[in-house]
Amino acid sequence: MNPVKIGNIKIDNPICLAPMAGFSALPFRVICGEMGAAYCPTELVSARSIRFNGLGRNSRYSKIDPAREKIPVIQLFGSEPEDFSAAVSKLLADPRYQGLKILDINMGCPVPKVIKTGSGSALMTDPVRASAIVAATVKAVEQAGADIPVTCKTRTGYDDRDKSGPDFARALAEAGASMICIHGRTRPQMYAGYADYDAIARMTEAVKPCNIPVFANGDVKDGKSALKALERTGADGLMVGRAARGNPWVFRKITDELEGREFEEPSDLEKRQMLLRELIERREENADCEEGAVVREFRSVMPFYIKGEEGAAALKRALCNASSIDEVKEILELD
Ligand SMILES: Cc1cc2nc3c(=O)[nH]c(=O)nc-3n(C[C@H](O)[C@H](O)[C@H](O)COP(=O)(O)O)c2cc1C
């Protein structure tokens, strides 16, 4: 793959982790980075909440670690340009976010709770507002004296009749977005069916005159599917979501296979050890929380690490009842 530039940031191997609420905790992002993901954004964080509640309450989800992340990226969602201006000013004035390298804006979330507020994929119905959000974010970065590119993650349309994707992408680029990532599904498709690479290609084409990279997203899980997504969309890079759940090795697999190297799948033991590592690091990150709460939150993640193992169903049931790290270790027969 060719290197890409997102604003001032050069990326040699443009395959990133797609943000995933519930999965994109800092330890997992660090692990995916070690496996070769170019960068790994946080899950969506409310710009309005940062504006009005500050970073204390939000720091769990917006936490970055420039010492362990090559390119720390925060994804914000919201519907009011002023919320983004205020949130960005707060973030960039806070010493904990000095190493922030990219700000991403969510314009694709299909969840009703988010859409109801005019955020996420609802922004696809209001390109003027979406552009105003990009412009306000870029301006707030400039006013803070920072050099941080603003990127957008969106879908191919609000619904199946919506043909405005190319115009929407172009509007975001003209408003100042330094990269656009396109998930090849419309909002009502949620995550069902196949990603529409032709629709991504039309949007990529529309953005060409603006000279910014486009990343394609949807259904990439190995070298073959990565090549197909790149060739069919004409995109400059890729984001990988679901295939990375419990499988951070997917980044190494894609890169190895694209570059013609044999990839050796991790053993069941390696997967179990990685599950435990993520859990222990999540615990360390949340030292002020009760251990049981951290383990319970991790219950939705654990099954992905043991998928495909013999006896996975019984193992999954046991893990989904665990409330302590010791219990998880015992179930997985790890020291
Ligand atoms: C559990 C889950 C949580 C997600 N949370 C976010 C999110 O916080 N922000 C975002 O932009 N997309 C989110 N997405 C969408 C993914 O980033 C990605 O666009 C989608 O899964 C399609 O890519 P894939 O086929 O590689 O999974 C989420 C997806 C899943 C499955």
Which residue type is seen at 155? R
For residue 61, the surrounding DSSP H or E stretch is helix 47-62
Nearest atom in ligand 1 to the alpha carbon of residue 155 is 19
pTM: 0.98
Nearest atom in ligand 1 to the alpha carbon of residue 106 is 11
Cα 123 to Cα 40, 116, 151, 231: the distances in Å are 23, 11, 15, 28
Angle between helices 291-298 and 325-332 in degrees, nearest 10: 50
Residue 229 CA from chain centroid, whole number:
18
231 inside domain:
yes
Same domain, 214 and 273: no
192 inside domain:
yes
**CATH code: domain of residue 96:** 3.20.20.70
Same domain, 46 and 16: yes
Same domain, 171 and 247: yes
Nearest atom in ligand 1 to the alpha carbon of residue 220 is 26
134 inside domain:
yes
For residue 331, which of 293, 32, 28, 309 has the smallest C-alpha distance?
Answer: 309
Contact in structure between 75 and 42 (CB atoms under 8 Å): yes
Task: Please tell me the residue having the least CA distance from ligand 1 atom 2.
Answer: 20
Same domain, 308 and 227: no
For 142-185, what is each residue's pLDDT tens digit? Answer: 999 999 999 999 999 999 999 999 999 999 999 999 999 999 99
Beta-bridged to residue 4, according to DSSP, are: 11
Residue carrying structure tokens 């069941």: 268
For 239-279, what is each residue's pLDDT tens digit? Answer: 999 999 999 999 999 999 999 999 999 999 999 999 999 99
Q: 18 C-alpha vs ligand 1 centroid, how far in Å?
A: 6
- pLDDT at position 290 is 96
Statement: residue 1 has pLDDT above 90 = no
Same domain, 96 and 146: yes
Domain boundary among 231, 258, 285: 258
Mean pLDDT of 72-95: 98
160 inside domain:
yes
pLDDT > 90 in the chain, percent: 96
**pLDDT band with cut points at 50, 70 and 90 for residue 59:** confident
For 92-123, what is each residue's pLDDT tens digit? Answer: 999 999 999 999 999 999 999 999 999 999 99
Task: Please tell me the residue having the least CA distance from ligand 1 atom 19.
Answer: 183
Task: Please tell me the residue having the least CA distance from ligand 1 atom 10.
Answer: 19
Q: 44 C-alpha vs ligand 1 centroid, how far in Å?
A: 10
Mean pLDDT of 326-331: 98
Domain boundary among 223, 258, 293: 258
Domain that holds residue 42: 4-258
- pLDDT at position 325 is 98
Same domain, 149 and 288: no
Same domain, 184 and 327: no
Mean pLDDT of 277-305: 97
Contact in structure between 145 and 173 (CB atoms under 8 Å): no
Domain boundary among 235, 258, 281: 258
Q: 19 C-alpha vs ligand 1 centroid, how far in Å?
A: 6
**pLDDT band with cut points at 50, 70 and 90 for residue 58:** low
Structural domains counted in the chain: 2
Task: Please tell me the residue having the least CA distance from ligand 1 atom 3.
Answer: 20
Q: 241 C-alpha vs ligand 1 centroid, how far in Å?
A: 6
For residue 77, the surrounding DSSP H or E stretch is strand 73-77
Q: Give the binding-site residues of ligand 1, using a 6 Å CB cut-off.
A: 18-23, 43-44, 75, 106, 108-109, 153, 183, 191, 217-220, 240-243
Contact in structure between 249 and 265 (CB atoms under 8 Å): yes
315 inside domain:
yes
Q: Which of 17, 74, 242 to mutate to test the pocket of ligand 1 (most atoms within 8 A of CB)?
A: 242
Q: Is 320 a catalytic residue?
A: no
263 inside domain:
no
| 157 phi and psi angles, rounded to 5 deg | 180, 160
Q: What is the dihedral of CA 26, 59, 52, 43, to 10 degrees?
A: 10
* Helix, strand, or coil (residue 6): strand
Q: Exactly one of 109, 152, 289, 320 is catalytic; name it.
A: 109
Task: Please tell me the residue having the least CA distance from ligand 1 atom 5.
Answer: 20
Same domain, 77 and 150: yes
Same domain, 146 and 277: no
**pLDDT band with cut points at 50, 70 and 90 for residue 335:** confident
Nearest atom in ligand 1 to the alpha carbon of residue 221 is 26
Task: Please tell me the residue having the least CA distance from ligand 1 atom 6.
Answer: 20
Task: Please tell me the residue having the least CA distance from ligand 1 atom 13.
Answer: 20
Same domain, 274 and 231: no
Q: Across the chain, what does the average pLDDT equal?
A: 97
Q: 109 C-alpha vs ligand 1 centroid, how far in Å?
A: 8
Contact in structure between 125 and 84 (CB atoms under 8 Å): no
Q: How many CA atoms lie within 13 A of 228 on its CB side?
A: 12
Which residue type is seen at 210? C
For residue 17, which of 117, 104, 145 has the smallest C-alpha distance?
Answer: 104
Same domain, 143 and 29: yes
Q: 62 C-alpha vs ligand 1 centroid, how far in Å?
A: 16
Same domain, 276 and 252: no
| 12 phi and psi angles, rounded to 5 deg | -75, -40
